[in-house]
Structure 1
Amino acid sequence: MEISSSAASTEYDRLIARHHAMRLRRQILAPAPAFQAPAVRGAAVRGSAVPGAASGPGGVPSDGGASRGGALYDGASCDGAADQRLILSTLGLVTPFADLIDHLYRFMFLRRPYLRSLFPASMEFQQAHLERMFTYLVEHLDRPAELADTLGRLGRDHRKLGVRPVHYEAFEEALCAAIRHRAGSQWNEELEAAWVRMLRFSVGAMVAGAESALTEPPYWHAVVVGHDRRRPDVAVLRVRTGEPYPYRAGQYGTVEHPLLPHTWRQYSMGCAPRADNEVEFHVRRTGPGGVSEALVERTAVGDRLRLGPPRGSLMPADDTRDLLLVAGGTGLAPMKAIVEELAEHRPRGRRVHLFVGARDRADLYDWPALSELGGRKPWLELIPVADDDPAGGAAGGAAGGAAGGSAGGAAGGRRLAEAVGRRGDWSDHLACVSGPAGMVDEVRTRLVAAGLPPARVHHDPVLGR
């Protein structure tokens, strides 16, 4: 089946026109915000016409697969826990998610080929991300306020991709087709309706998040002003944005390289906010052909990048306990930013202990900057933990950040966690952990087992490089 470019353009214009018409209708009939973080209670309406049935939350037009089965989720009230139970009880019909998503994208691009340009050439990372997102949605559907908050931030970030509310209709249609394909003869309207309600809830929260950020750019243009190759596989990049990039120490942002359009990867900022709009990123090359390789191997001063909105909340602003910071690999970047921030705005008496894991002493790539800072700040203790160090993390010597390697693997993660555990009692501290997934899990498990409440062990999602 082929769809001509003129037909695709006509279809796209039709969707855009209908989207704007429905948005105007909502503004006239219901001037209040279209989406509210719900106190979720039952509202699955089947087989009946109700006001507003022509659009989903955030003004997403709904036809075809969305309304078939008569299910409406208006984003204001729904029994999320009941939908969660239904979806979980029938999950075997549509999983594995990888197969569901593969069919979803195949159908969507066949039906609306013009949407393909919104996605990167390689869909592998995108499909893996959506698989994690489906898992997250199902697991949190019974916690709508928490889910809406996360999705609102995601919607704010998705503006950089050029996603408009009307695009979600195409996604919904494709999801319904994929569910029907996977479930086969066991498909039923109730199953599809639960997925549609979950999706419309998500879309409503994402659209609300996007609309709440209309006063800020969807992305920031940045020029590379420094590219320092610290190791064969590690580079520290300094970029300058044309206008202030509103991040906080400990956050991360997404980066797009011109060699890989529509391919965004997450990297933590490695410095506290600066008046000259300069931002630092620590990047380790993780494989061929990706953004990390482009940033390490094929980037020079003067090149232009794009930065997505800052995200994450590694360090709470309202907690003034002594800090335990644990970094592995280029997870050192947000810790360095936090230390720089505290150097300027540290509450009186607050102490900071920074553990840094590495394969060996030669693998410590940012020690000069840290040692200079630590030498001037008696409240900061730097503790290197190298895999080849029989002392297992004694203070002193050349401390710094790790380029990764075994510091992020099972053995390296255990060694770093053991060094942290031996060092002292951290039960009265606030802990921030950053680095590869294995290391983060090892350190978090050790700290919680030693008596530190889980709520005081903070870490952002492991960053994709």
Structure 2
Amino acid sequence: MPRDTVTPEYHALLARHDAMRLRRQMLAPDRSPAARTARELEPTYDGAADQRVIVQSLELVASLDDLIARLYDALFGHWPYLRSLFPESMDFQKRHLVQIFRYLIDRLHRPDEVAAQFTRLGRDHRKLGVRPAHYQAFEAALCEALRGTAGAQWNDAMEEAWLRMLRFAVAAMNRGAEEALREPPSWHATVTRHELRGPGLAVLRVSPHEPYSYRAGQFAAVASPLLPQAWRQYSIACAPRKDGELEFHVRQAGPGGVSEALVARTGVGDTLRLGPASGTATLDAAPTRDVLLVADDTGWAPAKALLEELAAHRSGFRMVHLFLGARHAVERYDAAAVAALAQRLPWLRVIHVATGEQTLAEAVARHGDWTRHLAFVSGPPAAVGAVATRLAALGLPAEHIRHDPLPGMPALTGRRAEALEGADI
């Protein structure tokens, strides 16, 4: 079927599949998914053994980029109707899938971590209309691509290792989708405010049409009707509000993408789509340590949400230090909100950093001893990685440094640079 004319019958079929799965879930014994580990769900799977075989087989695969290009050629060649599930441009999509395979191969010896990540990814994929039958087609396309890329030296043992890896990840994604059947696959939201705060930067307020659950510090995938099936992830820049509205800070990453559509071609009254909230860079119920917030550019968005949450439920900590980075003072696009919070919250100290003169990591390192703090780092991946690395080198334990996963992790938990956001298998 053409990619822009998915039939009502197709959507009706997907709805029936959801209804049957929901019925099975409601009739099944009640057991919290959080209590189940990958070992319980896949007790015989030896990820480390498959990892060794797959790593050795990579010598036969010219490059993961070539493998993924062949995979999509096979997928759309045999099942052209699946093209409708993907955005018009496949360039970012292919780069993202390379990252997912790298993540799988690198961490296959840690199946619990892989299962948790892909369970969340499966929950998020519901917004695309992805179903188990689609993964079967994906598996067949992968086999064809592996054989075509590796050539005559490819063997059954290598293929079986790749398939077990894929099936392990897909099983987790299917569980995530089934466990989320009580919530919508996506939410429609009306834009209630759209403010340009500088060249290529906008602050949006949106009102979801249905209740939307999230925690301060999380992010959501956002889609514009101008670019069907193209999603990008943005931090929610406010703690949960009584009126239910959400705030997003969007910097345009380039021409023609979702960020450009949101910044330059979206206005009040337009309707966007939201995926479920994701991310674990959130506050403990009652933080007992002083808090360090380090935010670069639009990384201010999750920091702002965390500050609002701390102001509403302050307990246990004495001080919060906020290092806020911008290349120049004129680029402090939300200066009024920062000043208002600093004036209202006596326990907040704000340190502005001109990142055109020094890096955030350097500024944080020079300012004091953070080894007893709970740190949250947000912003472009390069800045986040540099700050997290410096804090760890200064003696702050890794479990007390919180940020969204950096490139190489599934995009469900990625954020910031458009080239590192929101694509799907």
Give the Cα–Cα distance (whole angstroms) in 2 for the partners of residues 86 and 95 of structure 1.
Answer: 16
Please list, as runs of the form range in 1=range in 2, the aligned pairs for 1:256-275 lying within 5 A after superposition.
256-275=223-242
Q: Which amino acid aligns with 1:356?
A: L
Aligned residues of 2:288 and 2:316 also touching (Cα < 8 A): no
Cross-structure match for 1:405: none
Question: Corresponding residue for 2:408?
Answer: none
1:320 maps to 2:320: no
Alignment equivalent of 1:353, drawn from 314, 321, 328: 321
Q: Is the Cα–Cα contact under 8 Å of residues 75 and 200 in structure 1 kept in the other structure?
A: no
Cα distance, 1:37 vs. partner? 3.7
Using the alignment, how far apart are the partners of 2:370 and 2:303 within structure 1? 17
> Highest Rg: 1 or 2?
1
Question: C-alpha separation between the residues in 2 aligned to 1:247 and 1:237?
Answer: 17
Q: Match of 2:350?
A: 382
**What do the CA deviations read for 1:185-207 (whole angstroms, capped 9, x no partner)?**
01100000001101111111000
Post-superposition offset of 1:295: 0.6
Where do 4+ consecutive residues of structure 1 move more than 4 Å? none
Residue 390 of structure 2 is matched in structure 1 by: 446
**Counterpart check, 1:130 vs 2:97:** yes
AA at the equivalent of 1:365? Y
- Listed one character per residue, the Cα deviations across residues 207-258 of structure 1 (whole Å, up to 9, x for unaligned) are 0011001100111100000001000111000000012211100000100001
Q: In structure 2, how many angstroms separate the alpha carbons of the residues matched to 1:139 and 1:218?
A: 30
1:84 is aligned to 2:51: yes
One-letter code aligned to 1:168: Y
Aligned-residue sequence identity (percent) comes to 55
Structure 2 runs not aligned, ≥5 long:
406-413, 419-425
Q: Aligned-pair distance for 1:39?
A: 2.2
Matched ranges for 1:405-444 at <5 A: 415-444=359-388
In 2, Cα distance between the equivalents of 1:111 and 1:273? 45
Structure number with the bigger relative contact order (C-alpha 8 A, sep ≥ 6) is: 2
Partners of 2:63 and 2:266 lie apart in 1 by 38
1:335 equivalent to 2:303? Answer yes
- Relative distance call for 1:338 and 1:316 in structure 2 (3 A) is closer
Structure 1, unaligned runs of 5 or more: 41-73, 390-411
Could you tell me which of 22, 42, 63 is aligned with 1:96?
63
> For 2:293, what is the secondary structure of its paired residue?
strand
**Structure 1 position 202 matched with structure 2 position 146:** no
Task: Give, in whole Å, the separation in 1 of the partners of 2:330 and 2:110.
Answer: 46
Q: Tell me the secondary structure at the aligned position of residue 338 of structure 2.
A: helix
Structure 1 CA distance for aligned equivalents of residues 124 and 38 of structure 2 = 22
**Partners of 1:253 and 1:307 within 8 A in 2:** yes
Q: Report how far residue 350 of structure 1 moved.
A: 3.0
Instruction: Return the TM-score normalized by structure 2.
Output: 0.87
Name the counterpart of 1:304: 271
Query: What is the number of residues matched between the two proteins?
Result: 390
Q: Deviations over 1:69-114 (max 9, x none)?
A: xxxxx94421111001110111121241110000000001010000
Q: CA RMSD in A?
A: 2.4
- Matched-pair contact (CA < 8 Å) for 1:37–1:76: no
- Does the residue aligned with 1:39 lie in a helix, a strand or coil? helix
Mapped partners of 1:355, 1:245: distance in 2: 30
Query: What is the letter of the counterpart of residue 372 of structure 1?
Result: A
Please show how residues 20-419 of structure 1 align to structure 2 within 5 Å.
Answer: 37-39=37-39, 75-318=42-285, 319-387=287-355, 415-419=359-363
The structural deviation recorded for 1:288 is: 0.4
Q: TM-score, normalised by structure 1?
A: 0.80
Give the match's secondary structure for 1:259.
Answer: coil
CA contact (8 A) 2:327 2:356 kept: yes
Is the alpha carbon distance of 1:175 and 1:75 closer, same or farther for their aligned partners in structure 2, counting shifts above 3 Å?
A: farther
Q: Secondary structure at the match of 1:120?
A: coil
Cα pair 2:291 2:317 within 8 Å, conserved? no
What CA distance in whole angstroms lies between the structure 2 residues aligned with 1:335 and 1:368?
Answer: 15
Instruction: Tell me, yes or no, if the aligned pair for 1:236 and 1:281 is still in contact at 8 Å.
Output: yes
Change (3 A) 1:95 1:320: farther
Q: By how many angstroms is 1:437 displaced?
A: 1.6
Is the contact made by 1:265 and 1:291 (CA closer than 8 Å) also made in structure 2? yes
Residue aligned with 2:254, SS:
coil
Structure 1 pair 95–211 and aligned structure 2 pair: CA distance change class (3 A): farther
- How far did residue 139 of structure 1 move? 1.1
8 Å CA contact 2:283, 2:306 repeated in 1: no
In structure 1, C-alpha distance between the alignment counterparts of 2:318 and 2:161, rounded to whole Å: 49
Say whether the 8 Å CA contact 1:87–1:138 is kept in structure 2: yes
